Structure 1
Amino acid sequence: MKKWIFLICSVLLLSACNGGEDAADEKKDNLKKVSVVLDWTPNTNHTGLYVAKEKGYFKDQGLDVDIILPGEAGADQLVASGKADFGVGYQEGVTQARVQDVPIVSIGAIIQHNTSGFASPKSKGITKPKDFEGKSYGGWGSPVEKAVMDSIMKQENADVEKVNFINMGDTDFFTAVKRDVDFAWIYYGWTGIEAELRGEELNMMYVKDYSDKLDYYTPVLTTNEKMIDSDPETVKAFMAAASKGYQFTIDNPKEAGEILLDAAPDLDKELVMKSQEWLAPKYKDDADRWGEQKLEVWENYASWMYENDLLDKKLESKKAFTNEFLPK
């Protein structure tokens, strides 16, 4: 009798275990698979996404999110073509794509203000835009670079044609300025922080300090029009989780930094942690909520691009971005 009771209990226990596993598998199967493609290798601009994945915020929204690297195609192209559901991009890239009828849309500002600018080692003596004359600039070959430099140099009656432009390719800033470059365009939150850790003093000129029109959103989260039209609930769910991930990063930069390092262990720990601390208050900054975008920011930068012959036609700014999917 005892033997039969034992067998019955064993069968019931095994069924319960299998039922639990089946339920877990079924829950996993019910998650909607989506992808988000980064603009570059993982860094602190992306931490909120890794937090949302690690903390289960995406799963809570019914999503199984795959964070992928862009490869040669680039994030904007992958998102616009629908080969990735979401991406990390830049206002300037979205603007240029939109005027060429590429259906990409910005759905959230990752950082509220432009933290990029022209940087040089203090030993180069470049303290103002006029000092660019006669110097070598290391860039990536975009017309935007020369136009931005020209616009701020004109404020000091300086001539951008007296700057020697060199394509840096994949060379990092620190190698380039020791070799054949005097200054370059960097994001302070990463390269500037790395300079601090190296004990290398920089002169930094933030582009937003020279014109309100250059205080644009960089980076941003993107999707395409088809996704918005056909599956707005998934876009809303993705942004709810991403927003929660970035808010956690704002409130807990140290733990968030550890999560990024777990996901990308090849990153320099000291750089990640210091960068995370520096960026934490800048994700949301003076906005009412993380991710918020203003029409005037899109209009200002688009008009600047058009005036500098960087666009073939004027941008329909209202179609280039939306706050619709941000949590209320």
Structure 2
Amino acid sequence: MVSFQRIDRSMWRGSATRLAVAVGIGALVLSACSAGADAESDDSGLQTVTLAMDYLPNAMHGGLAYAMQEGLFADQGIKVKLISYNGSTGGSTVVASGKADLAIGENAAFDIGYFATGAPMRSIFIISPGNPTYLSVLKSSGITSPAQLAGKAHGGFGSPLEDEIVNQMIETDGGKDKIKQVVLNVGTYEALKAGQVDSTVTYPDGELQFANEGIDLVRFKQSDYGVPKQVMAVSTVLADNDFLEDHPDLARGFTTALQQGYEKAIEDPAAVTASVLAQFPDANLDEAITLNSAKVYAETSFPNSDGPVGTQSVEKTQVAADWMAGRGLLVDPDGKLLSSFDVSPYITNEYLPAVVAN
């Protein structure tokens, strides 16, 4: 069983985030070859598919865990080999460098950043088209609107994307100044509690932790303040181009099992919570917090307005890409700023169980 290091869980983490949106990775990804494209069979006759994880296991991985625990991948002739998150390098980086067949992407906006640099991969499934996060402040701070965050300290991990999201919210709300991002080497939640920063991004598990400690938050939904919804979508499945070309049937089998898993995550959060705890015992997850998060995701994150679970919208992703280009967040393989970027070659529903029109 893989051992997982416990670190602070936040939407904005580490070098993988900064790599995706701040600098080109063209030299890395364009020279890479696929490490997992042979998809070898094991003694059981199942074909092994490698999947790089985005972060540490949590309720967002419920459908994946359920599919693994209940043999849904095996039903498709697939054995999934997980590549665990190492504390700094996200799944996007691993698959972009050809070290995995598939990966769970950190965030739809980060994926767009990778695509713009020429990463040899496509998005074939979206786990969470809904956004489970909020920009949060302590109620005791007296801040009641994003405009009041102008000039204040935001706890983050150095991502230019994070800056632009919060600044967009401030601008839309009538604020005139930008945030001052404080790049933290400690947990953002702890920094917020200690008054070291004025705002940070919160997930359902973190919000429950605040509530359990009797700390009230005021939360702002990013899409209510000018940030396109797809910018905040999380957890897409990215596939190495060579893997898709060589093993399209395996890609379809993978998405079939994953779709079944996330349909179960919507239908029965308790069942998938049990699967997460069983699949990842070394993650030391709190059962109550994981279940609470699973329930929130089942209501707000996993349901898909664009079609069956996993379906992606090229149009919505393009809106996100246009916003990112307009905020100076996209660069080409040579590191030059892009004023526009067409995402359509990188987003496909072709590998879903039933082909869904883009």
Per the normalisation by structure 1, the TM-score is 0.86
Q: What CA distance in whole angstroms lies between the structure 1 residues aligned with 2:315 and 2:213?
A: 38
- The answer to whether 1:149 aligns with 2:175 is no
Which residue of the partner structure matches residue 15 of structure 1? none
Secondary structure of 1:33's match?
Answer: strand
Q: What's the CA shift string for 1:175-208, capped at 9, x where partnerless?
A: 4431511210223x33223333433221111111
CA contact (8 A) 2:132 2:297 kept: no
Alignment partner, residue 309 of structure 1: 328
CA–CA distance in 2 between the matches of 1:27 and 1:115?
38
Q: Shift of the alpha carbon at 1:256?
A: 1.0
Distance across 1 between alignment mates of 2:89 and 2:295 = 32
Distance in 1, matches of 2:148 and 2:263, equals 40
Matched residue, 1:202? 217
Determine the structure 2 residue equivalent to 1:193: 208
Alignment of 1:118-267 (within 5 A): 118-161=135-178, 163-187=179-203, 189-211=204-226, 213-216=228-231, 217-265=233-281, 266-267=284-285
Count matched residues.
301
Structure-2 separation of matches of 1:134 and 1:100: 32
Residue number in structure 1 paired with 2:288: 270
- Report if aligned partners of 2:155, 2:188 keep a CA contact under 8 Å in 1: no
Q: CA deviation at 1:327?
A: 1.8
Are 1:33 and 1:63, in contact at CA under 8 Å, matched by a contact in 2?
A: yes
2:66 to 51, 63, 68: 51
Counterpart-to-counterpart distance in 2, 1:106 and 1:77: 14
3-state SS of 2:129 partner: coil
Identity %: 26
| Greater fraction helix | 1
In structure 1, stretches of 5+ residues that fail to align are: 1-25
Of stretches 196-205 and 236-245 in structure 1, the one that deviates more from structure 2 is: 196-205
Alignment CA distance shift 1:186-1:291 (3 Å): same
Alpha-carbon RMSD across the aligned residues, in angstroms, is 1.9
- Asked if the contact 1:197/1:271 (under 8 Å) is kept, the reply is no
Name the counterpart of 1:279: 297
Deviates more, 1:309-318 or 1:175-184: 175-184
What CA deviation, in whole Å up to 9, does each residue of 1:231-268 have, x standing for no partner? 11111111111111111121111111011112233001
Q: Distance in 2 between matches of 1:99 and 1:27?
A: 36
Aligned residues of 2:138 and 2:192 also touching (Cα < 8 A): no
Match of 1:294 among 313, 317, 325: 313
Q: SS of the counterpart of 1:29?
A: coil
- Judged with a 3 Å threshold, the aligned counterparts in structure 2 of structure 1 residues 201 and 176 are, in CA distance, closer, same or farther, namely closer
Is the 1:94–1:320 contact (alpha carbons within 8 Å) kept by the matching residues of 2? no
User: Which one has a bigger Cα radius of gyration?
Assistant: 1
| 8 Å contact from structure 1 (residues 30, 62) kept in 2 | yes
Question: What's the CA shift string for 1:87-140, capped at 9, x where partnerless?
Answer: 111211111111111112111111122222211121112221111034221011
**Match for 1:107: what amino acid?**
I
Aligned partner of 2:98: which letter?
Answer: G
Tell me which residue corresponds to 2:353: 327
Q: Confirm or deny: 8 A CA contact 1:146 1:160 kept in the other structure.
A: no
Shift of 1:285: 4.3
